[in-house]
């Protein structure tokens, strides 16, 4: 299998590579549209700001390539947020592949922002490799709202999608590469 990790020259690419290698997959890291389009599976990683990420996508000429993919694709953390229509972060227009907006998390004394740490997940779709009650690792300050595309969620001041799916795109707000055994199960399900 040819698996491409989209290289926007920032973010969590190294940790995703290592997680995939532990599962026996050696991904190619590339920003070349043709290689991404011809891959069997594509991962759009992300750590950082929505505005900068979309600038990188457009600078590299990847918008059309990513929005026209038909093979299984996975957006991780910011990569998932970019699948939505708009982000409050930097007032950014995103890909618009999933209806909805990404908005800032609200801090509270018992709920710091950014949300960094382990949260218990509620799973609505068993084919994800995840189970209700699994703990997965998050690191984010923005999140979309629960909607028809939501397959799993957590509660952090509001219900937050942990996993979404629209057509061939799967999105994980959490970091499967840092989520231990549950994250490995999730990645394995994406690979099969």
Q: Which residues are catalytically annotated?
A: 77, 175, 177
Backbone angles phi, psi at 177, to 5 degrees: -70, -15
CB 49 within 8 A of CB 80: no
CA 107 to chain centre: 22
Give the separation between CA 71 and CA 40, rounded to whole angstroms.
Answer: 6
Give the separation between CA 174 and CA 161, rounded to whole angstroms.
Answer: 9
Which segments within 31-187 are labelled E, that is strand? Answer: 41-44, 73-76, 84-87, 92-93, 98-104, 115-120, 122-123, 135-140, 142-144, 150-155, 159-166, 169-172
Q: Quick one: tokens of 18?
A: 């290592």
Q: What share of the chain is helix, strand, coil (3-state, %, to 5)?
A: 30, 35, 35
């Amino acid at each position: 299998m040819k698996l491409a990790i989209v290289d926007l020259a920032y973010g969590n690419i190294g940790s995703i590579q290592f997680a995939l290698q532990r599962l026996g997959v050696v991904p190619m890291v590339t920003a070349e549209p043709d290689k991404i389009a011809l891959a069997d599976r594509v991962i759009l990683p992300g750590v950082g700001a929505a505005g900068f990420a979309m600038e990188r996508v457009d600078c590299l000429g990847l918008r059309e390539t990513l929005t026209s993919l038909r093979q299984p694709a996975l957006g991780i953390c910011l990569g998932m947020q970019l699948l939505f229509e708009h982000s409050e972060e930097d007032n950014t227009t995103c890909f618009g592949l999933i209806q909805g907006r990404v908005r800032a998390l609200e801090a509270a004394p018992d709920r710091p922002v950014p949300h960094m740490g382990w949260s218990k997940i509620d799973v609505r779709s068993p084919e994800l490799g995840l189970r209700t009650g699994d703990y997965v690792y998050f690191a984010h300050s923005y999140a979309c709202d629960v909607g028809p595309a939501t397959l799993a969620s957590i509660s952090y001041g509001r219900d937050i999608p942990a996993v979404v799916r629209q057509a061939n795109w799967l999105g994980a707000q959490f970091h499967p590469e840092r989520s231990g055994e549950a994250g490995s199960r999730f990645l394995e399900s994406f690979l099969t």
